[in-house]
Chain A
Amino acid sequence: MDSLDLIVNIAAATLRLGTPLILAAMAGLLSLQVGQVNIGLEGLMLAGAFTVVAVGFATQSVLVGLLAAIVVGMLLAAVFTLVVTRLKANLIIAGLALNLLVSGGTAYLLSVLFGTSGTFSPPDLESLPSLYIPGLSDLPVLGRLLFSFSPLVYMSWLAVPLVAIFLYRTVPGLHIRAIGQNEEAARSVGIPVRARQYLALMLGGALCGLAGAHLAVGDLALFREDMTAGRGFIALAAVYFAAGRPGFSALACLLFGLFEAVQFRLQLASSTPPQFFQMLPYLMVVVTLALISARKEWRKGWS
């Protein structure tokens, strides 16, 4: 029973830790598909995390905070889109600047608005309520594995098929993928390139807002400076690892979530260095990209 308990614990933690990664990965996927790789996922998430706590605290409603996080994510993404499309700034540089802007901006606001630095945990702000379905949530194992999370966890599961359907089964989604393949060709057949770029990146902004909100109020209710701690890049890693496919990206996120869950427990239980598990997502991406390219080069050599 003890080992089953441990497995259920780790599985539940994996799902919880995978949630912000999945949401951010869907955002990264949308940006990748439209041909505007967004390095700023990290910043967008952090902005969402700050907004949900700040607005939630001000209005005494986590739900209002959540909506605000989505709006802020979309607004920042809109500015980012403007900068990298119409103003033609370099994507990577603009992304890094966005991250720095949000990291500095949230720390500044934390100090100016709430007179604190480091961590802000308003005493009367509650975290998102966990789902409770009488009967189902009380089931011995399944209850904890499927029916015990905050709503954002389920939203992340929902986001994956929705993004997949959007990209592969709707006209705007097809447009987005066409633009990603060849922007000039897409423009020449009359696809509204600018509008679709805004659409893809702002949807991503909304998803990142949710991802950040989950970090802040999914389990606890607090904001910590730079609390995203590289998760935006892990999400991007998952997308590259899965070669831009929604389902596989989400699975990769869960795998990386599992690493995180295991690493927490290993720190207490064994001598395996936790950094090993923390490194894995990044290493896997580098190795995968190398293997994919090696195969491509090898095939080219034959033909």
Chain B
Amino acid sequence: MKSLAPIIRTVLTILLALLVGGIIMQLSGKDALNAYGVLLNSAFGNPRAIANTLLTATPLIFTGLATLIAFRAGIFNVGVEGSLYVGAFAAAWVGFTFTGLPALPLIGLCFSAGALVGGLWGLIPGYLKARLRVDEIVTTIMLNYVAILFTDYLVTGPFFVPGMANAMSAQVAEQAQLPRLVERSQLNASFILALVSVIVVAWLLRRTTLGYEVKTIGSNPLFARWMGMPVARTILLVMFISGLLGGLAGAGQVLGVHYRFVSGFSRGLGFDGIVVALLGRNSPLGALLAALFLGALRNGSSTMEMFTQIPRDLIDIVIALVIFFVAVEISFGWLKRRTIAAATPEAEQKGQADGLA
């Protein structure tokens, strides 16, 4: 029963954000109830809508997992977006270069390349943090831009395809394109890989030595060091896995949706991963649910825009509010615990101070 409370609190924060979003819509002269109705219907109303929600959620599951595994280790990795880009390009490159391979080995190779390159990209800030103690927040933010610009350079320079309106790579071989799961939706096999990743990450965190080390380093790095845990190595490993999952997200989008690398295609899928991790309270299952929720919002919002003339940007406002509320609410839960723990010594100190005065 203990684990029910955070779920209730999360649902309440979401409802509160939706309520504020509704008020904003009413204030701007729109029918909020109708809008949310349309949104709900276009997110879950029919099998195709559900498939599209799952499709939108797929990269968010990966990036959410990528973010939360780093968060668990106390590493604030904002760089999943960067891993996603370089991983996506690597997967695309394998896909349009080794066109002679049969389907399964080629797809496997594409995903491996995406995962490896994404992971290596994560190792850059990982190494800087583990060996040189450089703050990972700044480096990961900066490296995101480097990844976006570098991949843009790749498709406008060395891998430029003449005759394309936008900066994009050549198409991947037909057999590298992931099979669709449902008719009339782009939902594809990468969703299944995302589900498998949820299970693997959950297992990793709960049942392995690495998981224990991650938890210990995340909650008390000094203790971990005293215990003789390989802190630097664990940070490197976690950043590699985090980047790897980001790379898988990118590879999945390339092989399942775009069939090529498109410059700037992500538009914040990596950042959404932070929302997912936060909303899912750093648990893999929670992240899955949060990704589905975010996927429903994003998927439903484009249809809502079409039918109600309410700009889909409203959903960005709602998501931003959700982040604010959850961030504030988490800090309060943490605060309460801390205040209780610190109550006695603090009272003593106060007494001493009073005595002195």
Contact A283 B320, beta carbon cutoff 8 Å: no
Contact A111 B157, beta carbon cutoff 8 Å: no
CB-nearest residue of chain B to A292: B134
- State the interface size on chain B (CB cutoff 8 A): 47
Give Cα A92–Cα B278 distance, bound, in whole angstroms.
12
Residues of the A chain whose Cβ atoms lie less than 8 Å from the Cβ of B274: 93, 96
Pairs across A and B, CB under 8 Å, 25 listed: A89-B328, A89-B330, A92-B76, A93-B274, A93-B278, A94-B324, A96-B78, A101-B316, A101-B324, A103-B313, A104-B315, A107-B316, A108-B314, A111-B311, A112-B28, A112-B29, A117-B311, A233-B141, A273-B153, A278-B145, A279-B146, A279-B149, A282-B142, A293-B133, A297-B132
Residues of the A chain whose Cβ atoms lie less than 8 Å from the Cβ of B11: none
Min CB distance A299 to B, Å, is 12
Say yes or no for A97: interface residue by CB 8 A criterion.
Answer: yes
Give Cα A230–Cα B357 distance, bound, in whole angstroms.
53
Interface positions, chain B 275-291, Cβ under 8 Å from A, are 278
Min CB distance A46 to B, Å, is 12
| A98 with B142, Cβ < 8 A, contacts A90-B327, A92-B137 known | no
Interface positions, chain A 222-251, Cβ under 8 Å from B, are 230, 233, 236-237, 240
| A93 with B150, Cβ < 8 A, contacts A101-B321, A104-B316, A282-B142 known | no
Min CB distance A266 to B, Å, is 13
Q: Beyond the given A108-B24, A111-B311, A289-B139, please list 6 additional residue pairs across the A-B interface where CB-CB is below 8 A.
A: A87-B331, A89-B328, A104-B315, A104-B317, A112-B28, A276-B153
Contact with A along B144-163 (1 / 0, CB 8 A): 01100110110011000000
Interface positions, chain B 302-341, Cβ under 8 Å from A, are 311, 313-317, 319-321, 323-324, 327-328, 330-332, 334-335
Residues of the A chain whose Cβ atoms lie less than 8 Å from the Cβ of B314: 104, 108
Residues of the B chain whose Cβ atoms lie less than 8 Å from the Cβ of A142: none
Say yes or no for B31: interface residue by CB 8 A criterion.
Answer: no
Say yes or no for B346: interface residue by CB 8 A criterion.
Answer: no
CB-nearest residue of chain B to A111: B311
Contact A98 B320, beta carbon cutoff 8 Å: yes
Give Cα A285–Cα B138 distance, bound, in whole angstroms.
9
Say yes or no for A286: interface residue by CB 8 A criterion.
Answer: yes
Interface positions, chain B 110-154, Cβ under 8 Å from A, are 124, 128, 131-135, 137-139, 141-143, 145-146, 149-150, 152-153
Say yes or no for B271: interface residue by CB 8 A criterion.
Answer: yes
Residues of the A chain whose Cβ atoms lie less than 8 Å from the Cβ of B29: 112
Residues of the A chain whose Cβ atoms lie less than 8 Å from the Cβ of B278: 93
Contact A83 B328, beta carbon cutoff 8 Å: yes
CB-nearest residue of chain A to B324: A97
Say yes or no for A151: interface residue by CB 8 A criterion.
Answer: no
Q: Which of A108, A230, A290, A293 has the most CB of B within 10 A?
A: A108
- B141, B150, B315: the one contacting A279 at CB < 8 Å is B150
Residues of the B chain whose Cβ atoms lie less than 8 Å from the Cβ of A276: 153
Contact B332 A88, beta carbon cutoff 8 Å: yes
